[in-house]
Structures are given as structure tokens and as C-alpha cells.
Amino acid sequence: MDAARLLDRRRPAPGRQAVSKGEIVKTHYKHIHFVPEMYFGDETGNWYCRTNSEQHVVIGRALKSGDFGKPAFRPSGHTEFSAGCQRDIADFLDQLK
């Protein structure tokens, strides 16, 4: 199976929510959205952060357990984030605790 098929590239509908640890989490924000990372059809607990533009560029990953055992965000190389985008990322990470 090739890597492209492992990644779910579908854009979630506005206001879409998902379930993480039995809790409903918000996944769609004004300029970004989060898509569950899939590995051979199973969710890993990590999330891809994508832009809402037509290209749905991956700008990073939200990790359920970063280097310090807490949810963390790992940006893709050469990305920059506005204060509003950083707040949206922080809001999403707070939901994963």
C-alpha cells in the first residue's frame, strides 16, 4: 500500500467534530482544520493540521503525546503562524489533554 493511500486527504465539512478519548473535539477552524492520522486503516491518535485552502497543505502535526508526555504541535518546515492560528492550534491541543 502506498503512502498516499494511508493519508486521509478529504476536507472535513465546516463545523465537523471528531471523538478523541470518548470526548467530542472541534476539528475545523477559520483557516485550518485537523484530520486524524491513519496507519493501515487505524487512527494513531495524532492529527494532521491542514490549511482550508484548496490545496489542503499539511502545516504540521498535533501529537497526542509529545516529547514531554503532553499533547504537542510539530510544525512542518518553513512555516509561520499568525497569532490567531496559534490560538486555534492551542485550543485543539487543549482538547486532547
Q: Among candidates 40, 31, 54, which has minimal Cα distance to 7?
A: 40
The pLDDT assigned to 88 comes to: 95
pLDDT of res. 4: 41
**Predicted local distance difference test score (pLDDT) of residue 20:** 63
The whole-number pLDDT of residue 47 equals: 94
Residue 53 and residue 38: Cα distance in Å, rounded? 22
Would you write out the chain's pLDDT as a tens digit for each of its 97 residues? Answer: 344 433 444 444 445 667 666 677 899 999 999 999 988 888 888 999 999 999 999 999 999 888 888 999 999 999 999 999 999 999 999 998 8
Q: Left (φ > 0), alpha (ψ -120 to 50) or beta: where does 28 sit?
A: beta
pLDDT attached to residue 21? 60
Question: So what's the pLDDT on residue 3?
Answer: 41
Residue 78 CA to residue 12 CA, distance in Å, equals 25
